[in-house]
């Protein structure tokens, strides 16, 4: 039977997840970052949702389900991935692909490449320059319980920390060449300078 | 401390409170420590006129703690402050295994929607309320993608809550 894949864009909470306040709504090329992420991820999945804890109605314009954390004492992307797994499992999906909202050029073939490992029971993580980007992953929904148990234990609740105790396939994505410049497809926006760089790249691509 | 959160939402008279109470009992019987949050109407009051604590508050105390050897309650008057968010309220609760949240249909925690033919409305909430992961109804439901339970099937609903929140895994570990 073909595996069914849902997607979640991790838009974070008030401050700590993924970075600053409301990064999802930073405008890039006239659209908020969250819209870029949803558009990139949607074609590869059967259903797509936004993971966000604070004021879900802010996302209603995008017409996608908004899912909040189940493990409310937690902050961070792993709790969002866990809530995504629970949502996807209850809607009958076998796997969940996750993406960050602040990475506007993530590969359009992300889902296809991660799924092509042929190991539906294992985690597949995207990488570039041989460095994994664990919030860009394909997760069996059966991992929800193990993830909840991991989040329950004191200490490190990073996505990488969870992945260390599970079999993982790493899928490397090539650096994109752009006007002689090397662009990491997982280039993420952390500063106003990064946002300006992204604007410039989009403007150059449009020419 | 991790707090697992699961919601019960639905129209007025759809059976939310009865289901919440039954789940508290059943999940407690299974060994979980369960707390609840209930969203109420504007002027709700847990105090009564003519009590000493009521007089403290009426006199203008910002918070009144009322304490005995059996229970305690903390009343906070909002006056000009806005209503706290669900996240803020959850942060105030003591550590527990699971918080069942009744109401709060616009918040994004995973939740079950209760439906009764006699409820104030039969309009499904699955289209408008975020993150409804199951339905419990007193009538057959078609055309939904999430699991549908009988409103009285407390065992199956409690199983689902344990699975969805990861309580089941926690129980197995302990």
Q: What pLDDT was estimated at residue B160?
A: 95
Interface pTM (ipTM) of the complex? 0.71
Tell how strand B148-150 and strand B132-137 pair up.
parallel
Tens-digit pLDDT profile for residues B22-70: 999 999 999 999 999 999 887 788 888 889 999 999 899 999 999 999 9
CA pair distance B35, B89, nearest whole angstrom: 12
Q: Which of B103, B108, B105 is nearest to B38 (CA)?
A: B103
- Which pLDDT score, from 0 to 100, does residue A13 have? 53
Task: Kindly report, residue by residue over B81-121, the tens digit of the pLDDT.
Answer: 999 989 889 989 998 999 999 999 989 899 999 999 999 99
A152 known ligand binder:
no
Chain B: residue whose CA lies nearest to A64: B130
Backbone angles phi, psi at B73, to 5 degrees: -140, 145
Average pLDDT (B160-168) is 90
Smallest CA–CA distance, residue A66 to chain B, in Å, is 5
Is A11 labelled as part of a ligand binding site?
Answer: yes
C-beta of residue B136 within 8 angstroms of C-beta of residue B112: yes
Amino acid B169: pLDDT: 64
How many whole angstroms separate alpha carbon B64 and alpha carbon A86? Answer: 39
Q: Which positions of chain A have pLDDT values less than 50?
A: 1, 14-19
Q: What is the pLDDT of residue B9?
A: 96
Mutation for A interface: B1, B95, B106, B133, most A CBs within 10 A: B133
CA distance A63 to A28: 20
Supply the pLDDT for residue B31. Answer: 95
Among A87, A92, A149, beta carbon nearest to B131: A87
The helix or strand, by DSSP H or E, that contains position B87, with its residue range, turns out to be: helix B86-92
How many CB contacts within 8 angstroms connect chain A with chain B? Answer: 103
Per the CB < 8 Å rule, is A86 touching B164? yes
Q: How buried is A66 (Cβ within 10 angstroms: 0-12 exposed, 13-18 middle, 19+ buried)?
A: buried
Nearest to B87 among A57, A67, A72 (CB): A72
Show which of residues 79-108 on chain A sit within 8 Å of chain B, judged by CB atoms. Answer: 82-83, 86-87, 89-92
User: What is the pLDDT at residue A176?
Assistant: 82
Q: Distance between CA atoms of A25 and A23, rounded to whole angstroms? A: 5
Instruction: Confirm if B161 and B6 have CB atoms less than 8 A apart.
Output: yes
Lowest mean per-residue pLDDT among A154-158, B15-19, B135-139: A154-158
Name the minimum distance, in Å, from the CA of B91 to any CA of chain A: 7
Extract the runs of DSSP E, i.e. beta strands, from B12-138. Answer: 34-38, 63-67, 72-76, 98-102, 111-115, 132-137
Residue numbers in B near A142 (CB within 8 A): none
Most A-contacting residue of B108, B143, B160 (CB-CB within 10 A), to test interface: B108
Query: Quick check: A148 and B170 CB within 8 A?
Result: yes
Nearest CA in chain B to A157: B2
- Disruptive mutation site among B163, B166, B173 for chain A (greatest number of A CBs within 10 Å): B166
Q: Are the C-beta atoms of A165 and A123 separated by less than 8 Å?
A: no
Distance from CA of A67 to the nearest CA of B (A): 5
pLDDT attached to residue A21: 57
Identify the pLDDT of residue B29. 96
CATH match for A5-206 among 3.90.1720.10, 3.40.50.300, 3.90.550.10, 3.50.50.60: 3.90.550.10
Residues A34 and A73: beta-carbon distance below 8 Å: no
Q: Is the pLDDT of residue B171 over 60?
A: no
Choose the mutation target among B130, B169, B170 for the interface with A, i.e. most A CBs under 10 Å. Answer: B130
List domains and CATH numbers for chain B. 4-43+84-173 (3.40.50.300)
CA distance B130 to B110: 8
Give contacts of A93 with chain B, Cβ < 8 Å: none
Burial readout B97-123 (b: 16 or more C-beta within 10 A, e: otherwise) = bbbbbbbbbebbbbbbbbbbeebeeee
Rounded distance between C-alpha atoms, residue A120 and residue B88, angstroms: 38
Q: Judge contact between A173 and A126, C-beta under 8 A.
A: yes
A70:B90 CB<8 A: no
User: Exposure pattern of B127-164 as b/e (b: 16+ CB <10 Å)?
Assistant: eebbbbbbbbbbeebeeeebbebebeebeebbebbbbb
Determine contact, residues B73/B66, Cβ cutoff 8 Å: yes
Does the annotation place A94 within a ligand binding site? no
Q: How far apart are CA B88 and CA B92, in angstroms?
A: 7
Which of A:121-150 have CB within 8 Å of B? Answer: 144-149
What pLDDT score does A60 carry?
Answer: 86
HSE toward the beta carbon, residue A171, CA cutoff 13 A: 22
Check residue A2 and give its pLDDT. 64
User: What pLDDT is stored for residue A17 in this prediction?
Assistant: 42
């Amino acid at each position: 039977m073909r595996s069914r894949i849902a997607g979640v864009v991790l838009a974070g909470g008030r401050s700590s997840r993924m970075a600053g306040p409301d990064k999802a709504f930073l405008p890039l090329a006239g659209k908020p970052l969250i819209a870029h992420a949803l558009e990139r991820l949607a074609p590869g999945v059967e259903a797509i949702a936004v993971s966000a804890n604070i004021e879900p109605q802010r996302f209603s314009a995008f017409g996608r389900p908004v899912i909040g954390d189940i493990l409310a004492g937690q902050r961070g992307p792993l709790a969002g991935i866990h809530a995504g797994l629970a949502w996807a499992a209850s809607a009958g999906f076998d796997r969940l692909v996750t993406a960050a909202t602040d990475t506007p050029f993530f590969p359009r073939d992300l889902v296809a490449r991660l799924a092509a490992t042929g190991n539906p029971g294992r985690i597949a993580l995207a990488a570039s320059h041989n460095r994994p980007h664990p919030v860009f992953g394909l997760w069996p929904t059966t991992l929800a319980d193990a993830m909840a148990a991991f989040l329950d234990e004191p200490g490190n609740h990073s996505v990488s920390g969870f992945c260390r105790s599970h079999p993982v396939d790493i899928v490397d994505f090539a650096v994109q060449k752009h006007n002689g410049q090397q662009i990491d497809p997982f280039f993420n926006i952390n500063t106003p300078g990064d946002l300006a760089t992204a604007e410039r790249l989009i403007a150059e691509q449009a020419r | 401390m991790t707090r697992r959160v699961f919601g019960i939402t639905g129209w007025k008279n759809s059976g939310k409170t009865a289901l919440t109470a039954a789940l508290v009992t059943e999940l407690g019987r299974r060994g979980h420590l369960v707390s609840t949050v209930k969203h109420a109407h504007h002027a709700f009051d847990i105090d009564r006129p003519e009590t000493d604590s009521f007089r403290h508050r009426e006199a203008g105390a910002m918070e009144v703690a009322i304490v005995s050897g059996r229970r305690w309650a903390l009343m906070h008057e909002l006056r000009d402050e806005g209503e706290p968010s669900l996240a803020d309220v959850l942060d105030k609760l003591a550590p527990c295994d699971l918080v069942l949240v009744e109401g709060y249909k616009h918040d994004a925690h995973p939740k079950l929607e209760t439906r009764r033919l006699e409820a104030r409305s039969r309009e499904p909430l699955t289209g408008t309320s975020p993150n409804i992961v199951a339905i419990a109804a007193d009538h057959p439901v078609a055309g939904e993608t999430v699991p549908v339970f009988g409103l009285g099937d407390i065992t199956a609903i409690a199983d689902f809550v344990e699975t969805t929140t990861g309580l089941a895994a926690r129980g197995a570990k302990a």
